[in-house]
Amino acid sequence: MSSTPADDQFYREYILDHYKNPRNFGRLENPDISHEEDNPLCGDVIGMEFRVKDGVIEDVKFHGRGCAISQAAASLLTERLKGLPLDDAKKISKDDVLGELGIQISPARIKCALLSLKVLKVGAYGLAGDDEEGE
């Protein structure tokens, strides 16, 4: 109860910042790829839209609603995706996303943290979501 936002183990300032001011939030006109996924736990939805040129993600935006963890994770992910070759984006792992969040994610919240990665994988690559693995 006595922690301040700055030293909060979970709600670090940058997480809250990404939540309140999400980067790349919105829609793209005529996206090359567009996909949405729900978090069955809470009904949250995240969608992503991509513009791809010569195998490189030229632009990406996300939309939807969710908790601080899912929104911050999505925001951080889009920052990383912009300008990235598709082949490199393909290699982004769960550990990469969790590492970037930089906080201990409890099992109850892991789906929130990985929702945007699932959108990326299922949407952009047509991969089956293997969201049960490692939880």
* Nearest residue (CB) to other proteins, 101 versus 112: 112
* Nearest residue (CB) to other proteins, 93 versus 106: 106
Task: Determine, following the binding rule CB under 8 A, whether residue 8 of this chain makes contact with other proteins.
Answer: yes
Shortest Cβ 7–other proteins spacing (Å): 11
Query: Residue 54 CB: number of other CB atoms within 10 A?
Result: 7
Task: Determine, following the binding rule CB under 8 A, whether residue 67 of this chain makes contact with other proteins.
Answer: yes
Cα gap 48→35, rounded to integer Å: 6
What is the length of the chain? 135
* Nearest residue (CB) to other proteins, 10 versus 32: 10
Residue 72's closest CA among 49, 42, 105? 105
Task: Determine, following the binding rule CB under 8 A, whether residue 69 of this chain makes contact with other proteins.
Answer: yes
Shortest Cβ 42–other proteins spacing (Å): 4
Shortest Cβ 63–other proteins spacing (Å): 13
Which residues have a Cβ under 8 Å from the Cβ of 1 and sit 6 or more positions away?
Answer: none
Cα gap 46→87, rounded to integer Å: 22
Cα gap 135→2, rounded to integer Å: 30
Amino acid type, 124:
A
Q: Show the binding pattern over residues 75-114: x = contacts other proteins (CB under 8 A), - = does not.
A: -------------------------------x-xx--x--
Q: Show contacts with other proteins in window 10-29 (CB under 8 A).
A: 10-11, 16, 20
